[in-house]
A and B are shown apart, each in its own frame.
Chain A
Amino acid sequence: DVVMTQSPLSLPVTLGQPASISCRSSQSLAHSDGNTYLNWFQQRPGQSPRRLIYKVSNRDSGVPDRFSGSGSGTDFTLKISRVEAEDVGVYYCLQGTYWPRTFGQGTKVEIK
């Protein structure tokens, strides 16, 4: 199975400051169809997960533009340009290139 490793697992941030989460895969996520199936999800406390980013860098409708995704191959990053209070929660990466689908362990973002 493809192992997805996120870091850090806990991320205390100051309001208005940037934040960055890394996600590394044990194999390249480049698919033979030319796409790279790496998605990012946000799970706020007590809520269901919500997709933020698909195929590495495509932001979902309604997702603030302070969220951005980047990367290629085995190395991916989710960045929040200026953290707001509503960004508190756990963030997960997910690979959709191989079976079984696998999630990262999650990164808990909290306000300092």
Chain B
Amino acid sequence: EMQLLESGGGLVQPGGSLRLSCTASGFIFSNSVMNWVRQAPGKGLEWVSFVTSGGGTTYYTDSVKGRFTISRDNSKNTLYLQMNGLRAEDTALYYCAKGGSFEIWGQGTMVTVSS
């Protein structure tokens, strides 16, 4: 069974940093493009970032460019999102999703940015 498991969320002060992880199982991770998507409390879905299977190409939504970095370690079947300069508006449940059409989603990890 294909699964994704996010971790690394928590409470952080404005301006702080966090690194999220997404561990994959049940499929060949190194063959899959991957995404991060977030959902603020009570709000809709917002695409955040994308990375190709080899990690060589990345895309970001404008609001996180220059602050967030997506990366992956195919030897560990793990996707990352390094988040720096966090703001209150980054507070959300962060999901990783497999594939260009988002066919598999994890359960999410909550990030709260507050003083």
Q: Which residues of A contact B (CB under 8 A)?
A: 37, 39, 41, 43, 48-51, 54-55, 60, 90, 92, 94, 96, 99-106
Contacts and interface: CB of A to CB of B under 8 A. Distances in A.
Nearest to B43: A106
Contacts of A55: 101
12 contacts: A39-B102, A41-B102, A48-B105, A49-B105, A50-B105, A51-B102, A51-B104, A55-B101, A90-B44, A94-B45, A96-B102, A103-B46
A51 B103 contact: yes
Interface of B: 35, 37, 44-47, 50, 59-62, 95, 97, 100-108
A105 B40 CA distance: 13
Contacts of A102: 47
A54 B95 CA distance: 19
